[in-house]
Structure 1
Amino acid sequence: MFSLTFAQMRRSIGRLTAAGIAIAIGTAFVAATLLASDVLTRATYDSVAAQYGSSDLVVRSDGAYFGSSTITSQQLDQIRQADGVAAADPVAAAYLELTAGGSSLYQASIAVGTSPDLQPLTVAEGALPTSDSEIALPEGTARLLGVSVGDSVDEVSYPSTGESVSDPVGVRTPLTVTGIVDDPYKAYAAQGGAAVVAEGLFTERHSYGTNPVYPQVAVALTPGTDLETARDRIAGIVDLDSTEVVTKDEAAAASVNSATGGQQVFTVVILAFAAIAMVVAALVISNTFQVLVAQRTRTLALLRCVGAKKAQLRGSVVLEAATLGLVSSLVGIVLGSAFVQLTIMVLARTDLDFPIPGRITFSLGAILWPLVVGTLVTVVASLVPARAATRVAPLEAMRPADAPTLGASAGKVRLAFSLLLAVGGALFMVLGVYLTATTGRVEEAVAAGVFGGAVSFVGILVGAVFWLPRVIGLVGRLLGSAGPSARLAGANITRNPRRTAATSSALLIGVTLVAMMSVGAASARASLASTLDSSYNVDVMVETGAVEADGSSPEGSLTPAVLSELATVDGVAAVAPVSDVMLDVAGSTGSVATQEPVSVVTKASAQAALRDPSILDGLDATHVVVSPFYADYMVGDDRTLTFTGPGGSVTLDVVVADLKTTRAVVDATAVSGIVGDVLPTSAWIQVADLDDASTTVNMVRDALSSDAVSVTGAAVERATMQQAIDTMLAVVVGLLAIAVVIALIGVANTLSLSVLERRRESATLRAIGLSKRQLRLTLAVEGSLIAGVGAVLGIVLGAVYGWVGALVVLGGFADVSLSVPVVPLVLVLVVSVAAGLLASVVPGRTAARTSPVEALAVD
């Protein structure tokens, strides 16, 4: 049977090619995912291990990443003095606020350390600092601050005693830049790089109270020191209930295990898409073997006549599938590996925030799992055709037979099962919508909705053999007036409902998921945008921070030149200057005044920048406008607020409006007598086109050169939300496109096998006058109907699932606006129909190439 099986495979190599391509693509997907996950894990390991330099041991506290460190400076000194310890340095970062010229930023910094072996950074220019008045900066930080080696930067600190908490200046300490440092393994990429300072300055800035504590300490041993002996010696110094002494590799591995949870989630999510691709490939494979078995009926019958057992015939089909699966999986692994290797070669040429290995490393799992999954899916997909090969008696099998069809008894069971799944899943989706809308239990609602959607979709696929061919046939009959080719195509589709259902279902899966994500993303974008519109009055708010009422700290203001530049930015409709000043605010007679920031505006310009100008209708020289939240905790029973500044006090009547801000808003005429000449510190900006908010926000940010300025507001939230949703959608649709490609391969495969099955029928049609063009057109219509109707039904199902998903996920905190992205969905339909037409080209040429006399010859 082995030689016979391989001989049959050689004869059917062309028919098996499409199925092999489908399984190879799916296996490549799985292999690429696993290899990419390994690359990410290795990159994380290299980055974490780099923090420890060339250390031999690492002392880690349980709170290494959660702020509950227990390694004190006294314990660090004892470790340094222990026998066999050459050096020990803390693995920690302290943040410094650095300023130079008009720029400022927060910079992570590490100590220069006591040994070069423990220093993770390298010197690119100059030298490391040797005193508390020196600092070495990363190249990017030096560029942002506009300094180089030999220049000076100011380190700003805010003492906890003696000064006002609201002091915007702080204490400035000049530091000389002694060098530029490089981070070759991106050990501090997550912190935007790290500066290097002397240990004295580092200890002072890393202190909690008077005793510095550290999350980790790297230890280098003297040559010849026994590792375990040194480990026990250090363990006697620290508190082992909350601290561990491990090797560098153990510390890096522990950190990676805790830090790669997102990578594991990433891997699981991508593998879920790979599973979808494999399911689609299984439908293509099952379809292929179903027809191959039917075409070999006479050969199988002859084998039965000469003594072959059912088990042998079944084993022959399964062996053929296993061989196809094994070879295709190996090809898929090679393709997936090549893709990942090419990707990391491209990424290695870019400036990333993490180190990329130069080449992939093949782990046992990354090779074994794709091989097992690809082979197993192929074998499982062949079981039904293999069973069909053993169901007929030898004498009956000698007669020509069509491909296996659905039996009546199995049909009733299948129909009942599919209805149970579809209806039950729909009820769970309704339950999810109900839980979100009435109880706000979003987690339970999402679980019910996802479960219901998955179950109902499985039910639809299980029952597709009953309704999908009929729908396609109905469309074909509606197109029958177009000519005999269309009528023949419609009739051919309904002749083998199982094969038609399997082929169209493969496409249905991919298109449904693509449409679901597109509709869900569009609905989420519309719903969240609506919520943002009702939650923010200002599209974009530019802030530098409140200043003192006497006008001090002019560096915290927006100059007229900046405001003029903002007004000329494309997409900006209006700009309103706002002065946020610190005033003493009292809510009622006898109440204690608290210092609060107050927004001083000019009513006309402020209303021009608001989405709802009526909010400030009550603002004038005798009234202040506050939000309901502000009124609840600041306004007294007499509904007035008293503002006190350098020039005296003023009491204003309170107007409560739907103002989404925690500050009181007053007109400049109301407080002109109590505050000094304060320049604008903020700006309210109205965007002309909210649909293009992301572009306008980016241009506003480009117009603002100071790092101290923050840009917030509805348009910013909208831009961030749109970018996140669009990115997610692009990734998901890209992954699902693989399943769609496999499904379209199945359409081409089905048409090719259909041509081989219908050779005599095609010859008869040619003999009675059907032209080659009409025969090719028949297959073109058939392929277009299978692909087009599958795509339309997938879009409809995807829209329903996308809407339900939006209602379940967003219904608890937003007014859901159901939306349909017409252009992307029409594009999916056009591409599907075009692909169906393309899939019919080769089968159509094959069908038209054989003459009627040759095709009618007896096999």
Structure 2
Amino acid sequence: MKHYLKLVPISTKIHRKQSRMTRICITLAVILVAVMFGLADMYLQGVTQHEIEKSGNWHYAFHAIDSQTASFISARPEVKISGWHNTVSSEAGYFIKEQPITISAQDKGVFDDIFLNGIAEGKYPDAPNEIAISSSLKDTASVLLNDTVELYNPNGSMADYQIVGFLDDTKTSHLIAENLPIVVMTPEGLGTLAVSNANESYVAQFSHLCNIPDAINDIKAANHLTDEQITGNTPLLSIQGQIEGKSGVNQIYQVAFILSLIVMLTCILMISSSLNSNVAERTEFFGMLRCLGATKRQIMRFVRLEGLYWCKTAIPIGIIFSIVIVWILSAAMRVISPEWFSSMPIWGISWISIVASILLGLLTVLLAARSPARRAAKVSPLTAVSGNAGQIATFHKAANTKTFKIETALGIHHAKAKKRNYILMTGAFAICITLFLTFSTLVDFMQNAFVPPVYTPELSIASETNTCSIESEMLAQIKKNDDVKRAYGRMFAYDVPSENSGKSYNANLISYEENQFQWAADSLVAGSIETVMQQENQVLFVQTGNVNVQVGDKITLSINNTKKTVTVAGILSDSPLARVKGTETFFCSEATFSALTGETGYTIIDIQFENNASSEDVNAIKNIFTNGGVIFSDSLSQVQQQRNLYYTFAVLVYGFLSIIVAITIFHIMNTINLGVAAKMKEYGSMRAIGMSNRQLIKMIIAEAGTYAISGVIWGCIIGLPMHWVIYVSLITNIWGTAWSVPFIPLILIIAIVLLTSLLAVKGPAKRLQRMSIVENISAQ
């Protein structure tokens, strides 16, 4: 052995079992970071591909420029592909076999690589007298490959062209927006037609590695071009991060980077506390290295290199698992919500995620190793030689045996004796709780953003005349359908003259049934909904600020030239049906509505289907209304898309929360195991002076409980304000939902921390019981 650092692989191999949990923590951290960046990259790749397929793979188009300017643009190193693109609308009056056509003229490179078109049969035109036409025109005009056709000009003249290819009609919208037969030819071929009203542009695709806005500014300045002469493909440029202030890619990667920093902070505290315990366990080893002549700098370098040596296996394993997870999640997202994620690659490799996870993984380990490295460097040679390596803490105060039993007091005392280790372990627990609470806000965000409100109908059937003309028997018939989950109707009386306390106003009177009354309960600010449901002539009033109405007020309604009196039994803060400005809204039961108006039919019927419903089920309901007189509003596919989007993001969010929980569990088990291993000599001494195994176990439980309870307290102190800040930013400011203490996530993570801390004691306790006192005292 020629160098002291050669001891690192040997030491790592010997202490492989002790470092197992730390390596798992590194692996999980790498997985979490790589999956976040990987999914962001896969999503952006999918969105980019979708946008390219939608409008073409071009960045800027230049109008009203000459051939010299075009040559200058194509010669720039930032430009990958460029060429002329000319279009002639059907309004210009060109015909083939009496059928109006649109014309597109460009070089083959522009046709293939920028507008992503293809020839279904034959080849692309390469001579002025050759054309390719839509496959649809092939059938309607009864033409074959290599036929010669006459193309008529608006002035009545004509030119002969040979058909050398038929286009793939699914992609011709990239070339021209009109949904008409299209003829494609070379720019020279278009020149022979002497078209005077062609829409001519020079399109360019830039390299992704350049700064496109800077290149465009240079082109504008060098060629004296105006803003009107340049058109950008804004959606594609935004996705690719080439528009300042509108960069979708920057926003997505910023979110991933911020979350990665939180994960990195968590892992730094975890790995640092693990390394501290590992160093404490091997104090004699580092002392012996000092005896052999190692300097403090060399000891610090040894500890850092040992941490990096763990990365040798942990990081590759984490990257491999992350790639597989991204593949699985991408495939799941495509299946669950194809409308949004159909363009995501299934087997894609994100080099950004791999590089980011490697860099953050190495940086995390290096930062985490700083404190343990300094601690190892402080070990004196005298400590190792004297045999007092286990006692490195100075006790200024005895354990509190007045409040607790001796073993519990010693456990608490030992936990707090080494301040740095106590802060690291408590901080790691607190960060885990904070991280979990922070991520849990995404669950509420998803529910508000993607889950339709509980009252959202998937099919609405409204009276064509906005009257109570839909017979109640129709609702009963709809409910008999097994695919209908819920069906409910509403009766409307519009602009009812009302009077209260001498003030007159118009109001809409609307009937509710049991389901709708239940949903309205969330908006109740005063009174009782049950009274309205069970008693006649009782109503709910929606607050608007225009009229001062209180619970118990009598309202006089003029219906059918008859005055009726109702009582306000409840006040609602808001309602989705109270949207007519200057008109108040009252809700009542169906029995009250019929008694007041004499109507028994419905103005609208809303239907919610079972989860597996399809368009056939919607059509089955529509077929019931054979007599007409109604208007259908079908939103089944839209609601299903929203639900699928929610399920997709739920998989991601709960997956991240699961990884956070896994990191928390592994860290707790790791630190408690290493903490016990580092104090083997102390436990051996205690057993030697008469402490029983039962007392030792209680002492370890007390020590682990001290870390856990302190971590929970600080986790709540830090995590709840963080949860409030993010909740207000993401949810309250957008949807107005007030923040409340997240009891379920909080109780869940606290239970996980406390239960894991208790279970983590089981392994070290068994190991202590199996070892003799002599083995304890001589343990290294």
Are the counterparts in 2 of residues 525 and 722 from structure 1 also a CA contact under 8 Å?
A: no
Q: Aligned equivalents of 1:812 and 1:805: distance in 2?
A: 12
Alpha-carbon deviation of 1:853?
2.3
Q: Aligned equivalents of 2:667 and 2:545: distance in 1?
A: 61
Kindly provide the amino acid, as one letter, of the partner of residue 433 in structure 2.
V
**Residues 94-493 of structure 1: matches in 2 within 5 Å?**
199=180, 222=186, 234-235=200-201, 241-242=227-228, 265-346=251-332, 352-353=338-339, 354-355=341-342, 359-391=346-378, 394-395=381-382, 398-399=385-386, 400-402=388-390, 480-481=404-405, 485-493=407-415
Are the counterparts in 1 of residues 594 and 600 from structure 2 also a CA contact under 8 Å?
A: no
Alpha-carbon deviation of 1:44?
2.0
Match of 2:685 among 743, 747, 764: 764
Q: Aligned equivalents of 2:742 and 2:323: distance in 1?
A: 38
Are the counterparts in 2 of residues 300 and 389 from structure 1 also a CA contact under 8 Å?
A: yes
Cα distance, 1:514–1:602 mapped onto 2, change above 3 Å: closer
Q: TM-score, normalised by structure 1?
A: 0.54
Q: Is residue 19 of structure 2 the alignment partner of residue 16 of structure 1?
A: yes
Q: Aligned equivalents of 2:325 and 2:459: distance in 1?
A: 44
Q: Aligned equivalents of 1:665 and 1:494: distance in 2?
A: 63
Kindly provide the amino acid, as one letter, of the partner of residue 53 in structure 2.
A
Quote the residue 2:777 is aligned against: 856
Q: Aligned equivalents of 2:437 and 2:58: distance in 1?
A: 54
Q: Aligned equivalents of 2:768 and 2:351: distance in 1?
A: 46
Q: Secondary structure at the match of 2:310?
A: helix
Alpha-carbon deviation of 1:58?
9.2
Are the counterparts in 2 of residues 88 and 114 from structure 1 also a CA contact under 8 Å?
A: no
Q: Gaps (5+ residues) in structure 1?
A: 62-69, 90-112, 119-126, 133-181, 189-195, 201-217, 227-231, 409-468, 527-531, 588-596, 633-639, 644-648, 686-692
Q: Secondary structure at the match of 1:856?
A: helix
Q: Is residue 663 of structure 2 the alignment partner of residue 746 of structure 1?
A: no
Q: Is residue 733 of structure 2 the alignment partner of residue 783 of structure 1?
A: no
Match of 1:507 among 406, 420, 429: 429
Q: Secondary structure at the match of 2:491?
A: strand
Q: Aligned equivalents of 1:36 and 1:503: distance in 2?
A: 31
Quote the residue 2:49 is aligned against: 46
Q: Aligned equivalents of 1:395 and 1:604: distance in 2?
A: 85
Kindly provide the amino acid, as one letter, of the partner of residue 374 in structure 2.
R
Cα distance, 1:255–1:599 mapped onto 2, change above 3 Å: same
Q: Is residue 761 of structure 2 the alignment partner of residue 844 of structure 1?
A: no
Kindly provide the amino acid, as one letter, of the partner of residue 19 in structure 2.
L
Kindly provide the amino acid, as one letter, of the partner of residue 329 in structure 1.
I
Match of 2:31 among 25, 28, 33: 28
Cα distance, 1:702–1:761 mapped onto 2, change above 3 Å: farther
Are the counterparts in 1 of residues 42 and 345 from structure 2 also a CA contact under 8 Å?
A: no
Q: Aligned equivalents of 2:336 and 2:447: distance in 1?
A: 32
Kindly provide the amino acid, as one letter, of the partner of residue 362 in structure 1.
I
Q: Aligned equivalents of 1:36 and 1:547: distance in 2?
A: 47
Are the counterparts in 2 of residues 522 and 820 from structure 1 also a CA contact under 8 Å?
A: no
Match of 1:681 among 603, 608, 612: 603
Q: Aligned equivalents of 1:571 and 1:17: distance in 2?
A: 54
Deviations 1:2-59 (A, max 9, x none): 2133333233222222211111110111112222222222222332333358x99996
Q: Aligned equivalents of 1:523 and 1:87: distance in 2?
A: 45
Alpha-carbon deviation of 1:310?
3.1
Q: Aligned equivalents of 2:632 and 2:766: distance in 1?
A: 67
Q: Aligned equivalents of 1:224 and 1:721: distance in 2?
A: 50
Alpha-carbon deviation of 1:389?
3.2
Cα distance, 1:223–1:854 mapped onto 2, change above 3 Å: farther
Q: Aligned equivalents of 1:540 and 1:393: distance in 2?
A: 75
How big is the alpha-carbon RMSD for the aligned residues of Structure 1 and Structure 2? 6.5
Kindly provide the amino acid, as one letter, of the partner of residue 274 in structure 1.
S
Alpha-carbon deviation of 1:854?
2.9
Of 759-768 and 12-21, more deviation after overlay is shown by 759-768
Are the counterparts in 2 of residues 131 and 198 from structure 1 also a CA contact under 8 Å?
A: no
Q: Secondary structure at the match of 1:234?
A: strand
Are the counterparts in 2 of residues 36 and 340 from structure 1 also a CA contact under 8 Å?
A: yes
Q: Secondary structure at the match of 1:15?
A: coil
Kindly provide the amino acid, as one letter, of the partner of residue 234 in structure 1.
E
Cα distance, 1:836–1:115 mapped onto 2, change above 3 Å: same
Question: Between Structure 1 and Structure 2, how many residues are aligned?
Answer: 611
Cα distance, 1:325–1:236 mapped onto 2, change above 3 Å: closer
Q: Aligned equivalents of 2:421 and 2:758: distance in 1?
A: 18
Q: Aligned equivalents of 2:337 and 2:651: distance in 1?
A: 23
Alpha-carbon deviation of 1:515?
4.5
Kindly provide the amino acid, as one letter, of the partner of residue 281 in structure 1.
C
Q: Aligned equivalents of 2:118 and 2:282: distance in 1?
A: 79
Kindly provide the amino acid, as one letter, of the partner of residue 323 in structure 2.
S
Q: Secondary structure at the match of 1:47?
A: helix
Quote the residue 1:176 is aligned against: none
Alpha-carbon deviation of 1:85?
6.7
Q: Gaps (5+ residues) in structure 2?
A: 64-85, 95-100, 112-116, 123-134, 141-167, 191-197, 205-224, 499-505, 522-527, 549-555, 587-592, 623-629
**Residues 397-796 of structure 1: matches in 2 within 5 Å?**
398-399=385-386, 400-402=388-390, 480-481=404-405, 485-515=407-437, 544-545=461-462, 547-548=464-465, 557=470, 560-562=473-475, 565=478, 577-579=490-492, 661=578, 662=580, 680-682=602-604, 705-706=621-622, 709=632, 732=653, 734-791=655-712, 793-795=714-716
Cα distance, 1:360–1:848 mapped onto 2, change above 3 Å: same
Are the counterparts in 1 of residues 87 and 102 from structure 2 also a CA contact under 8 Å?
A: no
Deviations 1:141-160 (A, max 9, x none): xxxxxxxxxxxxxxxxxxxx
Quote the residue 1:121 is aligned against: none
Q: Secondary structure at the match of 1:199?
A: coil
Alpha-carbon deviation of 1:241?
4.3
Q: TM-score, normalised by structure 2?
A: 0.59
Kindly provide the amino acid, as one letter, of the partner of residue 491 in structure 1.
H
Cα distance, 1:281–1:548 mapped onto 2, change above 3 Å: closer
Quote the residue 2:8 is aligned against: 5
Q: Aligned equivalents of 2:567 and 2:596: distance in 1?
A: 17
- Percent identity between the aligned chains? 18
Are the counterparts in 1 of residues 684 and 777 from structure 2 also a CA contact under 8 Å?
A: yes
